[in-house]
Every structure is written in structure tokens, then in C-alpha cells.
Amino acid sequence: MDQKRRRRKRGEEQERARQRALVILKVRSGAFTATQGAQVLGVSRKTYYEWEEKSLKAMALALENQPAGRPPAPVDEEKEALRERVRELEKKLDDAEKAIEVKELLGACEELQRKGSKKNRSIGRKR
């Protein structure tokens, strides 16, 4: 029951908005004066001019060229911050893995140098 009432109310609101727009267009075209338009709508001239300004701005905005395709998804600041943190941590992990690899290679090189220097010593003794 509430849904039907809401739909009916929404329809009534849309119809009132259409009537307001029609009156505003008649005033803009010169068929009515602003005073007549305000009387038809049952509002003051000041309120009429406020509605006219809002409607013309909305119309201009609605008629602006829009980029083709789906509009971009709204950015979730928290998700974006978490993604950035994950990127930072992945970079640190990559750097740490490279550092370990370099240390292992240096250790292997030092081991080879020690073995090589022992062989050179033993070769020198045999002479």
C-alpha cells in the first residue's frame, strides 16, 4: 500500500514540476508576464524568479555535452588508501627479497674467494 501511495505522490510531484516548467517556458517566450506566471503558480514573483533561475540552470546543465560511455565509478577513499598501502608494502617486500638475494650472492662470492685464496696458498707451498 505504501508503495502505491509513494508512486502516486511521485507522479503528482512530477506533474507539478511539468506545470511549473510549462509556465516558465511561457513566460520566457513572452506568452505570460512574470507576474502572470507567478499568479498561475500561486507564488510570489520573487519565488517565481527563484524557480525560473533554478530551472534554467538545471536545463543548461542537462544539455551540456557529456563524455560518451559509462560515467566513472565514484572513488572510495578508504579503498584507494588501502590499495596504495598494499602497493607500498609489495614494493617493500620486493626490495627485501632483492636484498636477501644480493646478500646470498655476496656470501657465495666471498665463499668462492676464500676457497680460491686457500688454493692459491696451497699452490704456493708446493713450490
User: What is the per-residue pLDDT across 67-96, written as a single tens digit (0 to 9) for each?
Assistant: 888 888 888 999 999 999 999 999 999 999
> How many beta carbons lie within 10 A of that of residue 45, not counting itself?
14
Question: b or e along 53-65 (b: 16 or more beta carbons within 10 Å of the residue's beta carbon)?
Answer: eebeeeeeeeeee
Percent of the chain as helix, strand, coil, to the nearest 5: 80, 0, 20
For residue range 10-51, list pLDDT tens digits in order. 888 899 999 999 999 999 999 999 999 999 999 999 999 999
Question: What pLDDT does residue 91 have?
Answer: 96
pLDDT tier, 121 (very low <50, low <70, confident <90, very high otherwise) = low
pTM value > 0.85: no
Question: What pLDDT does residue 122 have?
Answer: 60
